[in-house]
Structure 1
Protein backbone atom coordinates (compact mmCIF):
# COMPACT_ATOMS: atom_id res chain seq x y z
CA UNK A 1 0.00 0.00 0.00
CA UNK A 2 1.34 3.43 -0.93
CA UNK A 3 0.86 6.42 1.36
CA UNK A 4 1.84 10.05 0.95
CA UNK A 5 3.33 12.04 3.79
CA UNK A 6 2.52 15.74 3.47
CA UNK A 7 4.25 16.71 6.74
CA UNK A 8 7.19 18.50 5.05
CA UNK A 9 4.74 20.67 3.11
CA UNK A 10 2.97 21.78 6.30
CA UNK A 11 6.23 23.37 7.50
CA UNK A 12 6.78 25.47 4.38
CA UNK A 13 3.25 26.67 3.66
CA UNK A 14 0.92 28.96 5.52
CA UNK A 15 -2.83 28.78 5.25
CA UNK A 16 -2.97 25.64 3.10
CA UNK A 17 -3.76 23.20 5.93
CA UNK A 18 -7.22 22.47 4.58
CA UNK A 19 -5.85 21.71 1.11
CA UNK A 20 -3.36 19.18 2.47
CA UNK A 21 -6.02 17.62 4.70
CA UNK A 22 -8.21 17.12 1.62
CA UNK A 23 -5.31 15.58 -0.31
CA UNK A 24 -4.55 13.29 2.62
CA UNK A 25 -8.18 12.14 2.84
CA UNK A 26 -8.39 11.59 -0.93
CA UNK A 27 -5.32 9.34 -0.98
CA UNK A 28 -6.44 7.12 1.90
CA UNK A 29 -7.65 3.70 0.90
CA UNK A 30 -11.20 3.31 2.18
CA UNK A 31 -13.21 0.10 2.29
CA UNK A 32 -15.05 -0.53 -0.96
CA UNK A 33 -18.51 1.00 -0.79
CA UNK A 34 -21.04 1.42 -3.55
CA UNK A 35 -21.27 4.83 -5.13
CA UNK A 36 -24.93 5.14 -4.31
CA UNK A 37 -26.97 6.84 -5.59
CA UNK A 38 -25.42 7.54 -8.99
CA UNK A 39 -24.85 11.22 -9.73
CA UNK A 40 -23.44 13.67 -12.27
CA UNK A 41 -21.57 16.91 -11.59
CA UNK A 42 -21.84 19.46 -14.39
CA UNK A 43 -20.21 22.84 -14.98
CA UNK A 44 -22.85 25.13 -16.48
CA UNK A 45 -20.80 28.30 -16.72
CA UNK A 46 -17.82 30.15 -15.29
CA UNK A 47 -19.18 30.03 -11.71
CA UNK A 48 -22.28 27.78 -12.01
CA UNK A 49 -22.49 24.05 -11.28
CA UNK A 50 -25.17 21.36 -11.04
CA UNK A 51 -25.31 18.03 -9.22
CA UNK A 52 -27.91 15.59 -10.54
CA UNK A 53 -28.65 12.47 -8.48
CA UNK A 54 -30.82 9.48 -9.47
CA UNK A 55 -33.12 9.01 -6.48
CA UNK A 56 -36.05 7.10 -8.00
CA UNK A 57 -38.70 6.20 -5.45
CA UNK A 58 -37.77 8.92 -2.95
CA UNK A 59 -40.04 11.87 -2.17
CA UNK A 60 -39.02 15.38 -1.12
CA UNK A 61 -39.77 14.66 2.55
CA UNK A 62 -37.44 11.61 2.47
CA UNK A 63 -34.42 13.60 1.20
CA UNK A 64 -32.40 16.14 3.18
CA UNK A 65 -29.87 18.59 1.72
CA UNK A 66 -27.53 20.35 4.14
CA UNK A 67 -24.77 22.85 3.41
CA UNK A 68 -22.37 23.61 6.23
CA UNK A 69 -19.41 25.82 5.32
CA UNK A 70 -17.60 23.99 2.48
CA UNK A 71 -19.50 20.74 2.76
CA UNK A 72 -22.71 19.72 1.02
CA UNK A 73 -24.47 16.60 2.27
CA UNK A 74 -27.39 14.91 0.52
CA UNK A 75 -29.04 12.09 2.43
CA UNK A 76 -32.16 10.05 1.98
CA UNK A 77 -34.10 7.56 4.02
CA UNK A 78 -37.24 5.77 2.84
CA UNK A 79 -40.28 5.72 5.07
CA UNK A 80 -41.50 2.24 6.02
CA UNK A 81 -44.07 0.61 3.75
CA UNK A 82 -47.66 1.17 4.87
CA UNK A 83 -49.14 -1.73 6.80
CA UNK A 84 -50.87 -4.30 4.66
CA UNK A 85 -48.73 -3.65 1.53
CA UNK A 86 -47.11 -6.80 0.22
CA UNK A 87 -44.31 -6.23 -2.29
CA UNK A 88 -43.86 -9.24 -4.57
CA UNK A 89 -40.75 -7.91 -6.32
CA UNK A 90 -38.58 -4.93 -5.32
CA UNK A 91 -36.54 -3.68 -8.27
CA UNK A 92 -36.38 -0.02 -7.26
CA UNK A 93 -33.72 0.42 -4.61
CA UNK A 94 -34.96 2.14 -1.52
CA UNK A 95 -31.90 1.89 0.68
CA UNK A 96 -30.81 4.86 2.70
CA UNK A 97 -27.95 6.96 1.34
CA UNK A 98 -25.64 9.75 2.36
CA UNK A 99 -23.47 11.52 -0.21
CA UNK A 100 -21.05 14.28 0.81
CA UNK A 101 -19.46 16.81 -1.54
CA UNK A 102 -16.56 19.15 -0.74
CA UNK A 103 -17.24 22.63 -2.06
CA UNK A 104 -14.76 25.34 -2.93
CA UNK A 105 -14.82 28.58 -0.97
CA UNK A 106 -17.80 30.86 -1.64
CA UNK A 107 -19.91 28.15 -3.34
CA UNK A 108 -23.52 28.03 -2.20
CA UNK A 109 -26.67 26.15 -3.13
CA UNK A 110 -29.12 28.28 -5.09
CA UNK A 111 -31.83 25.74 -5.94
CA UNK A 112 -32.86 22.12 -5.42
CA UNK A 113 -35.57 20.26 -7.34
CA UNK A 114 -36.90 16.70 -7.46
CA UNK A 115 -38.48 15.78 -10.79
CA UNK A 116 -38.97 12.44 -12.52
CA UNK A 117 -36.74 10.62 -10.02
CA UNK A 118 -33.83 13.05 -10.46
CA UNK A 119 -32.68 15.38 -7.69
CA UNK A 120 -31.05 18.50 -9.15
CA UNK A 121 -28.96 20.79 -6.94
CA UNK A 122 -27.76 24.05 -8.48
CA UNK A 123 -24.68 25.76 -7.08
CA UNK A 124 -23.05 29.11 -7.74
CA UNK A 125 -19.65 30.49 -6.77
CA UNK A 126 -19.93 34.10 -5.59
CA UNK A 127 -16.60 35.61 -4.59
CA UNK A 128 -17.04 38.80 -2.53
CA UNK A 129 -15.76 41.92 -4.25
CA UNK A 130 -13.07 42.49 -1.59
CA UNK A 131 -11.60 39.02 -2.28
CA UNK A 132 -11.37 39.34 -6.06
CA UNK A 133 -7.96 40.05 -7.62
CA UNK A 134 -7.13 43.73 -7.76
CA UNK A 135 -4.47 45.85 -9.37
CA UNK A 136 -2.13 47.57 -6.94
CA UNK A 137 -0.58 50.77 -8.34
CA UNK A 138 3.08 51.59 -7.72
CA UNK A 139 3.84 55.03 -6.31
CA UNK A 140 6.64 57.13 -7.77
CA UNK A 141 8.65 60.04 -6.43
CA UNK A 142 9.85 60.95 -2.96
CA UNK A 143 7.92 60.76 0.26
CA UNK A 144 6.71 64.36 0.02
CA UNK A 145 5.73 64.25 -3.65
CA UNK A 146 4.40 60.69 -3.92
CA UNK A 147 0.92 60.12 -5.15
CA UNK A 148 -0.88 56.78 -4.85
CA UNK A 149 -3.84 56.07 -7.10
CA UNK A 150 -6.84 54.20 -5.81
CA UNK A 151 -6.61 50.40 -6.00
CA UNK A 152 -8.57 49.10 -8.98
CA UNK A 153 -10.15 45.68 -9.47
CA UNK A 154 -8.86 43.64 -12.38
CA UNK A 155 -11.28 43.63 -15.32
CA UNK A 156 -12.93 40.26 -15.98
CA UNK A 157 -11.58 38.37 -18.97
CA UNK A 158 -14.16 37.96 -21.70
Structure 2
Protein backbone atom coordinates (compact mmCIF):
# COMPACT_ATOMS: atom_id res chain seq x y z
CA UNK A 1 0.00 0.00 0.00
CA UNK A 2 1.36 3.44 -0.98
CA UNK A 3 1.23 6.68 1.03
CA UNK A 4 0.60 10.08 -0.50
CA UNK A 5 4.34 10.64 -0.92
CA UNK A 6 4.90 7.46 -2.94
CA UNK A 7 6.49 5.42 -0.15
CA UNK A 8 5.28 1.86 0.07
CA UNK A 9 3.97 1.45 3.60
CA UNK A 10 4.28 -1.99 5.17
CA UNK A 11 3.21 -3.09 8.65
CA UNK A 12 4.62 -5.97 10.69
CA UNK A 13 1.71 -8.28 9.79
CA UNK A 14 2.36 -7.66 6.09
CA UNK A 15 6.09 -8.29 6.57
CA UNK A 16 5.30 -11.59 8.31
CA UNK A 17 2.97 -12.56 5.47
CA UNK A 18 5.61 -11.83 2.81
CA UNK A 19 8.34 -13.59 4.84
CA UNK A 20 6.07 -16.63 5.34
CA UNK A 21 5.76 -16.87 1.56
CA UNK A 22 9.52 -17.12 1.08
CA UNK A 23 10.84 -20.69 0.84
CA UNK A 24 12.92 -21.89 3.79
CA UNK A 25 16.13 -22.27 1.79
CA UNK A 26 19.65 -20.89 1.86
CA UNK A 27 19.69 -17.22 0.80
CA UNK A 28 22.18 -17.99 -1.98
CA UNK A 29 19.86 -20.63 -3.46
CA UNK A 30 16.91 -18.25 -3.20
CA UNK A 31 18.75 -15.42 -4.95
CA UNK A 32 20.00 -17.80 -7.66
CA UNK A 33 16.45 -19.08 -8.27
CA UNK A 34 15.17 -15.49 -8.49
CA UNK A 35 17.99 -14.54 -10.88
CA UNK A 36 19.35 -11.92 -8.47
CA UNK A 37 23.11 -11.58 -8.76
CA UNK A 38 25.33 -11.05 -5.71
CA UNK A 39 28.20 -8.73 -6.59
CA UNK A 40 31.17 -8.03 -4.35
CA UNK A 41 31.85 -4.33 -4.72
CA UNK A 42 35.11 -2.80 -3.53
CA UNK A 43 33.57 0.69 -3.99
CA UNK A 44 31.29 0.06 -1.00
CA UNK A 45 34.43 0.01 1.18
CA UNK A 46 34.59 3.79 0.71
CA UNK A 47 30.97 4.27 1.83
CA UNK A 48 29.09 3.81 5.08
CA UNK A 49 26.82 1.07 3.77
CA UNK A 50 27.89 -2.57 3.60
CA UNK A 51 25.33 -3.55 0.96
CA UNK A 52 22.92 -2.12 -1.56
CA UNK A 53 20.34 -3.36 -4.04
CA UNK A 54 19.96 -2.04 -7.55
CA UNK A 55 17.17 -2.84 -9.97
CA UNK A 56 17.23 -1.63 -13.55
CA UNK A 57 15.50 -2.83 -16.70
CA UNK A 58 14.25 -6.00 -15.00
CA UNK A 59 17.71 -6.93 -13.70
CA UNK A 60 18.31 -6.99 -9.95
CA UNK A 61 21.70 -7.10 -8.24
CA UNK A 62 22.76 -7.01 -4.62
CA UNK A 63 26.11 -5.38 -3.97
CA UNK A 64 28.07 -6.31 -0.84
CA UNK A 65 31.44 -5.31 0.55
CA UNK A 66 34.02 -8.04 0.08
CA UNK A 67 35.53 -9.92 3.04
CA UNK A 68 32.56 -9.60 5.41
CA UNK A 69 31.94 -12.34 7.99
CA UNK A 70 29.64 -14.95 6.41
CA UNK A 71 26.83 -14.65 9.00
CA UNK A 72 26.73 -10.85 8.61
CA UNK A 73 26.84 -11.19 4.81
CA UNK A 74 23.80 -13.50 4.91
CA UNK A 75 21.93 -11.00 7.10
CA UNK A 76 22.73 -8.26 4.56
CA UNK A 77 21.54 -10.43 1.67
CA UNK A 78 18.25 -11.16 3.48
CA UNK A 79 17.95 -7.43 4.29
CA UNK A 80 18.41 -6.36 0.66
CA UNK A 81 16.11 -9.14 -0.56
CA UNK A 82 13.58 -7.74 1.93
CA UNK A 83 13.77 -4.36 0.20
CA UNK A 84 13.12 -6.15 -3.09
CA UNK A 85 10.12 -8.11 -1.78
CA UNK A 86 8.61 -5.31 0.32
CA UNK A 87 9.45 -2.08 -1.48
CA UNK A 88 10.31 -2.73 -5.12
CA UNK A 89 7.95 -1.37 -7.73
CA UNK A 90 9.21 -1.25 -11.31
CA UNK A 91 7.09 1.86 -11.93
CA UNK A 92 8.47 3.78 -8.96
CA UNK A 93 11.65 5.83 -9.00
CA UNK A 94 12.56 6.46 -5.38
CA UNK A 95 15.85 6.56 -3.50
CA UNK A 96 15.32 5.03 -0.07
CA UNK A 97 18.72 6.18 1.19
CA UNK A 98 18.02 9.85 0.45
CA UNK A 99 14.48 9.76 1.73
CA UNK A 100 13.34 11.05 5.07
CA UNK A 101 11.43 7.74 5.22
CA UNK A 102 14.59 5.62 4.94
CA UNK A 103 14.53 4.69 8.65
CA UNK A 104 11.11 3.08 8.12
CA UNK A 105 12.11 1.07 5.06
CA UNK A 106 15.35 -0.02 6.74
CA UNK A 107 13.44 -1.21 9.81
CA UNK A 108 11.05 -3.16 7.59
CA UNK A 109 13.92 -4.82 5.70
CA UNK A 110 15.60 -5.69 9.04
CA UNK A 111 12.38 -7.29 10.29
CA UNK A 112 12.03 -9.28 7.06
CA UNK A 113 15.66 -10.46 7.34
CA UNK A 114 15.22 -11.47 11.00
CA UNK A 115 12.04 -13.43 10.28
CA UNK A 116 13.80 -15.37 7.53
CA UNK A 117 16.93 -15.98 9.60
CA UNK A 118 14.75 -17.39 12.40
CA UNK A 119 12.83 -19.80 10.12
CA UNK A 120 13.12 -23.34 11.38
CA UNK A 121 14.39 -22.20 14.78
CA UNK A 122 12.60 -23.07 18.00
CA UNK A 123 12.60 -19.57 19.44
CA UNK A 124 10.64 -20.44 22.57
CA UNK A 125 12.74 -20.60 25.72
CA UNK A 126 15.63 -18.95 23.83
CA UNK A 127 17.15 -15.52 23.97
CA UNK A 128 15.98 -14.34 20.54
CA UNK A 129 18.30 -11.33 20.56
CA UNK A 130 21.32 -13.56 21.19
CA UNK A 131 20.10 -15.95 18.48
CA UNK A 132 19.81 -13.10 15.98
CA UNK A 133 23.29 -11.86 16.90
CA UNK A 134 24.67 -15.38 16.37
CA UNK A 135 23.13 -15.27 12.89
CA UNK A 136 25.04 -12.10 11.97
CA UNK A 137 22.55 -9.41 12.94
CA UNK A 138 24.32 -6.46 14.58
CA UNK A 139 23.32 -6.14 18.25
CA UNK A 140 21.63 -2.74 17.88
CA UNK A 141 19.52 -4.04 14.97
CA UNK A 142 18.75 -7.32 16.80
CA UNK A 143 17.37 -5.39 19.78
CA UNK A 144 15.25 -3.01 17.65
CA UNK A 145 13.98 -5.87 15.48
CA UNK A 146 13.05 -7.98 18.50
CA UNK A 147 11.07 -5.02 19.88
CA UNK A 148 9.09 -4.82 16.63
CA UNK A 149 8.37 -8.57 16.68
CA UNK A 150 6.92 -8.78 20.19
Taking structure 2 as the reference length, the TM-score comes to 0.22
More helix by share: 2
More strand by share: 1
Taking structure 1 as the reference length, the TM-score comes to 0.21
Higher relative contact order (CA closer than 8 Å, sequence separation 6+) = 2
Which is higher, the Rg of structure 1 or of structure 2? 1
